[in-house]
């Protein structure tokens, strides 16, 4: 049975991951705004700002997407302007800058993480996954319920800012958490979905009640279709 784990991202892990190449570590789903480009654009939200209410308010989305996410895009474009990075994909920048350029890595990873997070949510989401995704949860965790509980717990127990993730590693589902901007790609994993547990993701709506935010996400917003699509790709 697979237990949840924190991501350990040392220099050795990065070198091993980089050798795999970005094809093996692709997004799976096609996310707008993250393709190879001279300038990255803020990817449009996959739903209206108020679509996740009452679990995440339009006010939170306005600040989270319009200020935080947009800010990372602006800083990333400033960092790559006039450099060889401008010809790289977002994944290539993340893998290539990890352990070498913290500013570049943090902003590139946060652009990717946020775009992935928006797609990991949908109005009328939540509930239980089905099909191959559910079968994989049973195979690795013993039951769907155990996997969902571990994902919620990993997100809840992440100290400070970070992310909870459902990933694929070596063909098996794993639940992990990461701090700040860290992305499981640098540890050889393929993200299937993510939950943002930075305070700006929930504080306007829930203050310090991260658990209530996570309950709303897991029961009403999590996009299992997106995770299933990434599993198959």
Annotated binding site: 64, 114, 196, 200
- Give the C-alpha separation, 102 to 205, whole Å: 31
Question: How far apart are the C-alpha atoms of 186 and 192, rounded to whole Å?
Answer: 15
Q: 111 near 80, Cβ under 8 Å?
A: no
- Distance, CA of 172 to CA of 231 (rounded, Å): 10
* β-strands 5-6, 172-179 pairing: parallel
Among candidate residues 196, 67, 63, 188, the one with its CA nearest the CA of residue 119:
196
Q: Which residues are annotated as a binding site for Mn(2+)?
A: 64, 114, 196, 200
């Amino acid at each position: 049975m697979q237990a949840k784990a924190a991501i350990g991202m040392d220099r050795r892990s990065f070198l091993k991951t980089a050798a795999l190449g970005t094809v093996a570590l692709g997004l799976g789903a096609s996310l707008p705004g993250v393709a190879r480009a001279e300038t990255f654009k803020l990817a449009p939200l996959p739903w209206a700002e108020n679509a996740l209410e009452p679990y995440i308010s339009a006010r939170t989305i306005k600040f989270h997407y319009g200020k935080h996410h947009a800010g990372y895009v602006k800083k990333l474009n400033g960092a790559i302007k006039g450099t060889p990075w401008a010809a790289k994909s977002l994944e290539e920048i993340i893998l290539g800058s990890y352990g070498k350029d913290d500013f570049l890595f943090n902003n590139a990873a946060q652009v990717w993480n946020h775009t992935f997070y928006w797609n990991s949510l949908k109005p009328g989401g939540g509930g239980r996954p089905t099909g191959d995704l559910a079968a994989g949860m049973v195979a690795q965790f013993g039951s769907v319920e155990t996997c969902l509980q571990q994902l919620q717990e990993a997100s809840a127990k992440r100290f400070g800012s970070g992310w909870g993730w459902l990933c694929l590693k070596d063909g098996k589902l794993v639940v992990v958490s990461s701090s700040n901007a860290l992305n499981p790609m640098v540890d050889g994993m393929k993200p299937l979905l993510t939950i943002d547990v930075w305070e700006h993701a929930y504080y306007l709506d829930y203050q310090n009640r991260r658990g209530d935010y996570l309950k709303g996400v897991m029961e009403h917003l999590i996009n299992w279709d997106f995770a299933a699509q990434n599993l198959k790709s």
